[in-house]
Amino acid sequence: MKHLAALVLSLTLSLLFISFSAQASNCSGVNGAIKDVVFLAQPNCDLAEGVSIVVNEIAKTFGGPNITVIMGSVSNNASFDLGHLIELPYQMIFYGQYGASYPMSRVSVITSAAHEYGHAIFHERVKKEFPDKFGDLAAKFAKVSDLKEAVARGKATSEQLSKAALELAAAPAYADFSKYLTAYSEFYADVITVFNFESKSAMLKALYYDQMSDNEYYYVRTRDFDSKPSSSHDDMLSEDHAKLAYVRAYVGEFMWPENREQARVYADKILSAIMVVAKEDIKSGRSPEFKEMSDRLIAELKKP
Ligand SMILES: [Zn+2]
């Protein structure tokens, strides 16, 4: 389901953009937590400013690091690079069977930006909670991120970037990071998104298009906070984005905030609960399957 990778936390080190000649933005409405927007394809200040507004709303309510946005061409994918870069397309487009393509509205890019910034908040917490386990890895992520931006601006070579990327991929903690934290990170990034837009179905709406197959629909519904996944589709829940579908339904039902302050409190509680269970996972040396993972996180959320 290739196009459903639209909102993945990309651990792949996309080097694609370096073939473009990038342009730094002079967009007046880009500010605050967004240090800059670098356009690889067509500049679009209106979209960049829309992204800036949403990221700053999130930073104001939930706290979050400063980031730089790399805005590429049409794509089915957005990503946070675990350093300081969020890569977004200027238009999200999904691909169906038989080569059909489905261009999505501006909302899909804005929602993706919120989701990716949610990963950035998550990653800041991981750096604080796991300095021994992932501190060295975080430094490698930061180095690759710095070089990626420098290459995009013509201030470093792709050879320098490749070398840093290979060092990162060879780090033993890299595989552990993905194994233990990806499903939690995807869940939390969705929490930030739905809380920010005050819509339990914000993720579903960003991913949905009329022509998707039934299976694809059931899969994107695992991102919804307004409905429980159907147990007949439990086989879909091994995938990292879908794995905590039951916890999304729990949050939608029992931890739905009434205002921004409550959203901040709940998001913080959710992040702290994730850190507790993730530490247990790492200590035990295994990442649980979806049922156990969901039950344990919900039990942690129920604690006063
Ligand atoms: Zn993601």
Query: How far is ligand 1, taken at its centre, from the CA of residue 146, in Å?
Result: 21
Residues in the chain: 304
Phi-psi region of 85 (alpha: psi -120 to 50; beta: other; left: phi over 0): beta
Query: How far is ligand 1, taken at its centre, from the CA of residue 7, in Å?
Result: 5
Distance set, CA 230 to CA 218, 259, 299 (Å): 8, 30, 21
Residue 2: the pLDDT is 29
Query: How far is ligand 1, taken at its centre, from the CA of residue 168, in Å?
Result: 20
| Residues 147 and 199 reside in one and the same domain | no
Residue 8: the pLDDT is 30
Residue 3: the pLDDT is 31
Query: How far is ligand 1, taken at its centre, from the CA of residue 218, in Å?
Result: 18
Higher pLDDT, 105 or 7: 105
**Measured distance CA(73)–CA(202) in Å, rounded:** 23
Residue 26: helix, strand or coil by DSSP? Answer: coil
| Residues 118 and 226 reside in one and the same domain | no
Q: How far is CA 261 from the centre of its chain?
A: 23
pLDDT at 93 over 50: yes
Q: What is the CA radius of gyration of the chain?
A: 18
Query: How far is ligand 1, taken at its centre, from the CA of residue 223, in Å?
Result: 11
- Asked if 88 contacts 71 with a C-beta cutoff of 8 angstroms, the reply is yes
Query: How far is ligand 1, taken at its centre, from the CA of residue 154, in Å?
Result: 28
Residue 67: helix, strand or coil by DSSP? Answer: strand
Token pair in block for residue 120: 């950035």
Domain end among 145, 171, 197: 171
Instruction: Work out the pLDDT band at 11, boundaries 50, 70, 90.
Output: very low
| Residues 18 and 163 reside in one and the same domain | yes
Query: How far is ligand 1, taken at its centre, from the CA of residue 124, in Å?
Result: 15
| Residues 295 and 227 reside in one and the same domain | yes
Q: 246: Cβ–Cβ under 8 A, 6 or more apart, which residues?
A: 228, 229, 290, 291, 294, 298
Q: What is the pLDDT of residues 114-172, one digit of tens each?
A: 999 999 999 999 999 999 999 999 999 999 999 999 998 889 999 999 999 999 999 98
| Residues 26 and 163 reside in one and the same domain | yes
- Asked if 253 contacts 246 with a C-beta cutoff of 8 angstroms, the reply is no
pTM, entire model = 0.92
| Residues 118 and 15 reside in one and the same domain | yes
**How much is the mean pLDDT over the chain?**
90
Domain end among 137, 171, 205: 171
Query: How far is ligand 1, taken at its centre, from the CA of residue 115, in Å?
Result: 6
Percent over 90 (pLDDT), the chain: 79
**Measured distance CA(152)–CA(187) in Å, rounded:** 30
**Measured distance CA(167)–CA(31) in Å, rounded:** 33
pLDDT at 24 over 80: no
Residue 12: the pLDDT is 38
pLDDT at 262 over 80: yes
Residue 233: the pLDDT is 83
pLDDT at 9 over 60: no
Query: How far is ligand 1, taken at its centre, from the CA of residue 196, in Å?
Result: 16
**Measured distance CA(83)–CA(68) in Å, rounded:** 10
- What mean pLDDT do residues 257-270 have? 98
| Residues 157 and 231 reside in one and the same domain | no
Q: What is the pLDDT of residues 50-84, one digit of tens each?
A: 999 999 999 999 999 999 999 988 899 999 999 99
Q: Which domain holds residue 203?
A: 173-302
Residue 139: the pLDDT is 95
| Residues 142 and 22 reside in one and the same domain | yes
Distance set, CA 125 to CA 10, 63, 271 (Å): 18, 11, 8
Residue 220: the pLDDT is 93
- Asked if 114 contacts 54 with a C-beta cutoff of 8 angstroms, the reply is yes
Query: How far is ligand 1, taken at its centre, from the CA of residue 249, in Å?
Result: 18
Query: How far is ligand 1, taken at its centre, from the CA of residue 214, in Å?
Result: 22
Query: How far is ligand 1, taken at its centre, from the CA of residue 187, in Å?
Result: 8
| Residues 203 and 130 reside in one and the same domain | no
**Measured distance CA(243)–CA(185) in Å, rounded:** 11
Query: How far is ligand 1, taken at its centre, from the CA of residue 186, in Å?
Result: 5
Query: How far is ligand 1, taken at its centre, from the CA of residue 79, in Å?
Result: 7
Domain end among 131, 149, 171: 171
Question: Can you list the alpha helix ranges (DSSP code H) found in 131-240?
Answer: 131-152, 158-170, 172-197, 202-207, 214-221
Residue 22: the pLDDT is 63
Query: How far is ligand 1, taken at its centre, from the CA of residue 1, in Å?
Result: 15
| Residues 100 and 74 reside in one and the same domain | yes
pLDDT at 7 over 60: no
pLDDT at 221 over 60: yes
Query: How far is ligand 1, taken at its centre, from the CA of residue 219, in Å?
Result: 15
| Residues 117 and 30 reside in one and the same domain | yes
| Residues 282 and 292 reside in one and the same domain | yes
Distance set, CA 127 to CA 89, 119, 130, 139, 298 (Å): 27, 12, 6, 10, 24
Quote the number of domains for the chain: 2
pLDDT at 183 over 90: yes
Residue 152: the pLDDT is 86
Query: How far is ligand 1, taken at its centre, from the CA of residue 220, in Å?
Result: 13
Q: What is the pLDDT of residues 230-249, one digit of tens each?
A: 888 888 899 999 999 999 99
